[in-house]
Amino acid sequence: MGLLYALGSNACGQLGIGHSEDTSDPQLCHISDSGSQWPAPIDTIKGGSGHTLVQLESGDLYVSGSLKDGRACIDQAVDATSKFCKVPSTAFGGAKVKFCSALWEASTIVTDDNHIYTFGLGPKGELGVGEGVLGTSHTVDRFWPLEEQIIDLASGMSHTVVVLSSGDVYGWGNGRKGQLGEPAEIVWKPRKIPNLDFKVVRAVCGREFTYLVGDDEEGLHAVLGSDKWNIRSDAPAAIPGWEDVGASWGSIFVITSSGDFLSWGRDDHGQLGSDRRIEPFDYIAAGSEHALAITLYDNAVAWGWGEHGNCGHGIDEHGDVKGKWNKINPDTFGKASRVVGVAAGCATSFLWTQLAEGQSPPKLPANIASTG
């Protein structure tokens, strides 16, 4: 059994910790119908400007934060929730969630029966269903061959890409900086990204760029879009042996099988991390202007812009964790727990733990356990 903790920006209740105050200390996340215990292991977490999506390995989806314009996949009489609520499977035609992503004010869902659903606002094509369609929920028309599967999904602030099993990539949304290929324009419906000379297996998105990666043997990769912060021109020729990749709004991160950590792009808030690593990284998660990693020894570290508490304590006078790694206090999770996953959104950070056999989860505060 695992528990989820969160810290950082929380004005809309997007941390799911039972209130709407920012926090620099990891606090236990709450589920509206089951306290703090998740019914299945967490697979991934994605965060938008004020909403958060938690996808479980079971294919169920939970959301917290802003519910405006249907961006969190559910319709409620309230504008926001500070606890995680389960999204009914009817929102996805009764199917399970295979991939999810969060944009600034929208969400994209890929289901296990090969459908794509979009929710929220789409003034720059974020919904992928045509020009002039700006809000609510939609089913994206199928654009890929029946024999192909969607193997990855990624979104930036206002654009989305999907990777197919053939290695082809399609995208929609704001493509004015070339992040969706040429011509550089708003792309209202899914469009194939042209002129890729390798089979893509993974994608991550920054604010105005898309990062595409091929197999780990050759490590071919491409950065599409704006070259602000030298995000394209500073990229290495290849990244052979890559194990994990991530992208913040202006930076790219790569972990390799040999233990190397590569980063390039924006660094004015320490987003690229320090040259002095305390331990090798095993997994990385990139938020808007900060990042987290799990080390090979199950420690969690954060760095970058942490003004809202999303990097924990130890920030400088500018709100940054710069030139160092900020270790998230392990005592928060209990001595018998270990961190098994991290995620980052728009100035939000999430860490989930695995409880040791026989260990009981902490009790929720009475004022939170009793509220809706």
Least confident stretch, 65-69, 252-256, 351-355: 351-355
The DSSP-derived string for 7-36 is EE--TTSTT-SSS---EEEEEE--BTTTBT
Please tell me the predicted confidence (pLDDT) of residue 363. 58
Q: 216 — phi, psi (to 5°)?
A: -75, -15
Q: Using alpha carbons only, give the angle 272, 108, 252 rounded to the nearest 5 degrees.
A: 15
Q: Band of the pLDDT at 335, cuts 50, 70, 90?
A: low
Least confident stretch, 123-137, 156-170, 197-211: 123-137
pLDDT (tens digit per residue) in 89-139: 999 999 999 999 999 999 999 999 999 999 999 999 999 999 988 888 999
Please tell me the predicted confidence (pLDDT) of residue 367. 47
Q: Is the pLDDT of residue 214 over 50?
A: yes
Please tell me the predicted confidence (pLDDT) of residue 65. 98
Asked whether the beta carbons of 35 and 18 are under 8 A apart, the reply is: no
Please tell me the predicted confidence (pLDDT) of residue 277. 79
Q: Is the pLDDT of residue 60 over 80?
A: yes
Strands (E), 60-102: 61-66, 80-86, 97-102
Q: CA of 295: how far to CAs of 277, 284, 300, in Å?
A: 10, 9, 6
Please tell me the predicted confidence (pLDDT) of residue 370. 38
Of residues 271 and 361, the one with the higher pLDDT is: 271
Asked whether the beta carbons of 172 and 125 are under 8 A apart, the reply is: yes
Please tell me the predicted confidence (pLDDT) of residue 217. 97
pLDDT (tens digit per residue) in 305-326: 999 999 999 999 999 999 999 9
Please tell me the predicted confidence (pLDDT) of residue 152. 98
CB-side exposure of 189: number of CA atoms within 13 Å?
A: 10
Q: In angstroms, rounded to a whole number, what is the distance separating the alpha carbons of residues 22 and 285?
A: 20
The mean per-residue pLDDT over the stretch 217-242 comes to 98
Q: CA of 271: how far to CAs of 6, 61, 205, 286, in Å?
A: 20, 30, 16, 9
Least confident stretch, 50-64, 252-266, 335-349: 335-349
Nearest to 71 by CA among 91, 93, 57: 91
